[in-house]
Structure 1
């Protein structure tokens, strides 16, 4: 059985609820990533912030990234979906497809221990499975010929 632990990246970086969006943007730039889980003081994930969130939900509405905290972003977010490290990868895939999410935090006893991204799926799963995931989660956001 392939588990979430087998597929996840265990070197996941995160920010705390007290970090600012400026800090989040700087970390993303340094790490060359597009999203960071947000954890509370105990290390439990409470949200995810993406580079797009910073632009659209902070800068785009005139808020100050130097004073807007990750905790504020997490409070306005939809329910965060996570998966236990011991869960079967099919369960993780089903959750990602159902909720249309591209990044899934992995937990053990509620604590963040990893993250599953599209790239992780592509590295560990058969091409057909990855294709189905892309079709279910990503393809609906791509422009069609009639959009041109």
Structure 2
């Protein structure tokens, strides 16, 4: 059984809730990633910040990324997956919530990120094709 722990990217770079959106964008560029988890001062996951969030919710609205904090873009509770959840559960969660990346938690601790591409590489073609289709169409 393939689990999230088997296919995730470990040691995900976290942006602090108090960091600016510009700081977050710089981390994303340095790590060459399209999303970063937002972590509170207590170390708990507060949400996810994507490059699309920055473009649509900050730049397109004329907001200053140097003045806006990452926490201001964290909306609701982040959709997560357990480290020991299997690939089928990962696919189901991604498809149900229409997300391409999931923070992986072990207890309350963030241990990694699993992306659509990670799942696609780990599963046989028919399964990964179903995931891509589920995320791409309404």
User: TM-score with structure 1 length normalisation?
Assistant: 0.88
Name the residue aligned to 1:104.
102
Q: Does 1:88 align with 2:93?
A: no
Larger radius of gyration: 1
Q: Does the Cα contact within 8 Å between 2:87 and 2:119 map onto a contact in 1?
A: no
Name the residue aligned to 2:22.
22
Q: Per the alignment, in what secondary structure is the counterpart of residue 6 of structure 1?
A: helix
Q: Per the alignment, in what secondary structure is the counterpart of residue 61 of structure 1?
A: coil
- The alignment yields a C-alpha RMSD, in angstroms, of 1.3
Structure 2 gaps, min length 5: none
Q: Does 1:48 align with 2:42?
A: no
Dislocated runs of 4+, deviation >2 Å: none
Q: Does the Cα contact within 8 Å between 2:8 and 2:112 map onto a contact in 1?
A: yes
Name the residue aligned to 1:9.
9
Cα shift at 1:114? 0.6
Q: Provide the rounded CA distance (Å) in 2 between the counterparts of 1:100 and 1:80.
A: 12
Structure 1 gaps, min length 5: 142-148
